[in-house]
Amino acid sequence: MVLLTSPSSDSRHGQRFPTLDRTEIERIRRFGTARSYKAGEAVARVGEFTPGLIIVLSGQIRITRHDHSGRRDTIVEYKAGQFMGELAQLAGKPSLIDGDALEPVDALVIAPDRLRALLIAEAELGERLMRAMILRRVQLLETNSGGPVIIGHPGQGDALRLASFLRRNGHPHQLLDIDNDAEALALIEQFHIDTGQLPIVLCPDGSMLRNPDESDLARCLGLVGPIDPNRIYDVIVIGAGPAGLATAVYAGSEGLSVLVLDCRSFGGQAGASARIENYLGFPTGISGIALMARAYNQAQKFGVEMAIPDEASSLEMPEPGKFRLTLQNGEKVHSRSVVIASGARYRRLGIENMDAFEMSSIHYWASPLEAKLCSGQDVALVGAGNSAGQACVYLASHAKKVWMIVRGKSLDATMSRYLVDRIESLPNVEVVTQAQISKLTGADGILDTICWRDGAHTEIERQIRHLFLFIGAQPNTDWLASAGITLDSKGFILTGTAASADRFGLETSIRGVFAIGDVRAGSTKRVAAAVGEGAQAVAAVHTFLASLSGTAVPITQPAASVTSVAAQ
């Protein structure tokens, strides 16, 4: 048995595993329900729903993880005054760990809805609890504890797709290489799997999925479930990027019932950024996924319901102030208002055989997963905006060389100066200007060579297996074809007087439907601008909802001062 963490080896041990004193427990007691466990009784099981956060009043609970070979490691042992739980308990999701009572245990169980109430009502205590839950999830991610096991070939597109989906949703997992991992081979033999069926996913509940799509995998893990068809939300937010999450945080904090939908993961394009250095309040920079994960957890703290991955396929308005969204899986959800923050889709190159190399060799973001794939190799990157610059800097720390292919004459016109200076200082980055990719060659889905034409129309060929594309995006508005919402010539959503003479601000041509972030025509394509629009949208939603009920909009609302600051 191995103890995964100890005070001597972990500088944040005290924050991850705090001990509450008697006075603090008494303050918490009103939010929980007393419960007892017998010695040896299971308190939590991986893949099963737990009743909530569990505060130990007496006795001891051992937290363990296990792998598919049967090995079991101890993560921590909770004693009186400590609590069992992490972000899964905040969101009401299945447990990622096993917990067993080592002796008779008396405990206080705080259900997810009461936990959220506690975090808000007891600010100082709530901060300690929230920090501990986040740090525990980070530890589970670092140790690949409690999640599914993906088994596939190295560089296999579908295996990378599934691993990327879980990583971007902050869910622990293991990706085992069938060619180099003895455990992967043993599991293949144990389950009698034909290697032609790879990748497979072994879920914590014991079920096995053969090359599932993201929706099937999420449902197997309990990340998403049916939405109550009879509930009418105050607002449904479509898209969980910076704009959508900002809307969710402000709306949830102001008491509105909120449902957030996203077809893939939280964070949007910002979540794929290796490092954001010009966002207010982060002088040393922060990775996009870290920033968006904070916003995602913050929204759940305020009771926002997340449905990820769930994709909207159509929007209808049976009558004013009543909207019905149909999802790709056939479910229907209802609301009094809608905020569209569906962002944009990555733009693709107009190369004939691109489809053959996508996911395995062509990438639209640069994360640790992609960095590991191209470690020590030459890579090519196309793009000249800030996202391309951030990706270039990140990849340069892992790749042997980065060829940066730029269509314009220089980076100065489209990229922030600090990034241009940094790229120019990197010895293993070569910027090729006035150039375009002309041909891709390879076999079995693996890229082998890339050709580009430079300003002199000379074709240059290099042996490169990984191509990164940061060439902008197209608005994600195809699903609105029958909704009657006015778009511009490029497919972006028009708002305010550009949509209709009697519309203002962020409202679309349909009353009660608002558009924010990258999907909105004329928006500033920056994270800070998207967050500001999210705050503004909530104020507009309040005004619209008040008009439905015939009541005046309150002069002050909870968190109004925060909203006004973010909107400036």
Angle between helix 527-549 and 242-253 (nearest 10): 40
**Strand pairing class (305-307; 258-261):** parallel
Peptide bond into 309 cis (omega under 30): yes
Q: Exposure pattern of 459-469 as b/e (b: 16+ CB <10 Å)?
A: eeeeebbbbbb
Q: What is the pLDDT of residue 566?
A: 45
- Which CATH entry fits the domain spanning 13-142: 2.130.10.10, 2.60.120.10, 1.10.10.10, 2.40.340.10? 2.60.120.10
Residues whose CB falls within 8 Å of the CB of residue 438, separated by 6 or more in sequence, listed in order: 451, 452, 453, 459
Residue of 296, 291, 294, 292 whose CA lies nearest to 248:
296
Q: Judge if 13-142 and 354-471 fold alike in CATH terms.
A: no
Helices 157-168 and 214-221 pack at an angle, to 10 degrees, of 50
Domain 149-221 bears CATH identifier 3.30.465.10: no
Are 64 and 74 in contact by the 8 Å Cβ rule? The answer is: yes
How confident is the model over 63-113, as pLDDT tens digits? 998 766 667 789 999 999 999 999 999 999 999 999 999 999 999 999 999
* Cα dihedral value 477, 479, 484, 489, nearest 10: 30
Distance of CA 265 to the CA centre of its chain: 4
Alpha-carbon gap, residue 147 to 415, rounded angstroms: 39
State the sign of the Cα–Cα–Cα–Cα dihedral 389, 394, 397, 399: negative
**Other Cβ atoms within 10 Å of 352 Cβ, number:** 9
Query: How far apart (Å, rounded) are the C-alpha atoms in residues 441 and 199?
Result: 25
Could you confirm whether domain 232-345+474-567 is CATH 3.40.50.280?
A: no
- Contact in structure between 478 and 484 (CB atoms under 8 Å): no
**CA-CA distance, 397 to 392, in Å (whole number)?**
9
* 297-335 per-residue burial string, b: 16 or more CB within 10 A, e: under 16: bbbbbbbbbbbbbbbbeebebeeebebbbebeeeeebbb
Contact 492, 521 (CB under 8 A): yes
Residue spans per domain, the chain: 13-142, 149-221, 232-345+474-567, 354-471
Peptide bond into 199 cis (omega under 30): yes
Beta bridge partners of 335: 233, 323
Query: What is the SS3 assignment for 169?
Result: coil
| pLDDT recorded at residue 68 | 62
Q: What is the pLDDT of residue 277?
A: 87
First CA to last CA distance, the chain: 54
Torsion of CA 562, 566, 567, 568, to 10 degrees: 110
Stated length of the chain? 568
Which one, of 200, 198, 137, 135, lies nearest residue 174 by Cα?
200
**Residue of 186, 188, 182 whose CA lies nearest to 210:** 188
Report yes or no: 396 and 426 within 8 Å, Cβ to Cβ. Answer: yes
Does CATH number 1.20.1260.10 belong to domain 354-471? no
Separation in Å, CA 219 to CA 205, 223, 307, 309, 370: 12, 6, 11, 9, 26
Please give, one letter per residue, the 3-state secondary structure of 454-488. Answer: CCCCCEEEEECCEEEECCCEEECCHHHCCCCCCEC
**186 Cβ contact list (under 8 Å, min separation 6):** 69
Six-digit token pair at 236? 């449904």
The two tokens of residue 305 are 């319901």
What's the DSSP call for residue 280? T
CA separation for the pair 507, 496 (Å, rounded): 6
Reported pTM? 0.88
Distance, CA of 291 to CA of 299 (rounded, Å): 13
Q: Which residues pair with 258 in a beta bridge?
A: 235
Ranges of residues in the chain whose predicted pLDDT is under 50: 1-3, 8-9, 553-568
Distance between CA atoms of residues 408 and 418, nearest Å: 19
Q: What's the distance, CA 6 to chain centroid?
A: 30
